[in-house]
């Protein structure tokens, strides 16, 4: 799926996941918690949307995954950004800023 076609909501989730992984690799729950933290609790990503998104983004080549041990010695699947993932993060960030600016302007002028 080309980035242009991603709709707003899906785009939002993708951008949040990409940003969450920007600092380093995380497992599913970690990503969820990180997004919670980043958005100060505004977005609580449920596994029902998180995992489909992760698998889709992995298939798109934005993420790679590997199994590792968690801080409390649980086996977990960790995700990290690939090169294309980083590029995608930049594209989506830019897109989002454009939209956000446009929306902000739109709301202010009305």
* Binding-site ranges for another protein (CB under 8 A): 27-29, 46-49, 51-53, 55-56, 58-59, 70, 72, 74-77
Instruction: Estimate the crossing angle of helix 47-59 against helix 28-38, to 10 degrees.
Output: 110
Closer of 71 and 109 to another protein (Cβ): 71
Closer of 2 and 72 to another protein (Cβ): 72
- Minimal distance, residue 65 CB to another protein, in Å: 9
- Minimal distance, residue 70 CB to another protein, in Å: 6
Closer of 80 and 101 to another protein (Cβ): 80
- Minimal distance, residue 31 CB to another protein, in Å: 10
- Minimal distance, residue 87 CB to another protein, in Å: 19
Closer of 59 and 94 to another protein (Cβ): 59
3-state secondary structure labels for all residues of the chain: CCHHHCCHHHHHHHHHHHHHCCCCCEEHHHHHHHHHHHCCCCCCCCHHHHHHHHHHHHHCCCEEEEEEECCCCCEEEEEEECHHHHHHHHHHHHHHHHHHHHHHHHHHHC
């Amino acid at each position: 799926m080309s980035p242009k076609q991603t709709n707003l909501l899906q785009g939002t989730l993708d951008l949040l996941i990409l940003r969450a992984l920007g600092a380093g690799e995380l497992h599913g729950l970690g990503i969820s918690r990180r997004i919670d933290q980043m958005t100060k609790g505004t977005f609580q990503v449920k596994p029902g949307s998180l995992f489909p998104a992760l698998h889709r983004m992995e298939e798109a080549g934005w993420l790679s995954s590997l199994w590792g041990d968690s801080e409390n010695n649980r086996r977990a699947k960790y995700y990290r950004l690939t090169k294309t993932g980083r590029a995608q993060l930049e594209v989506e960030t830019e897109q989002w800023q454009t939209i956000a600016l446009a929306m902000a302007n739109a709301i202010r002028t009305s």
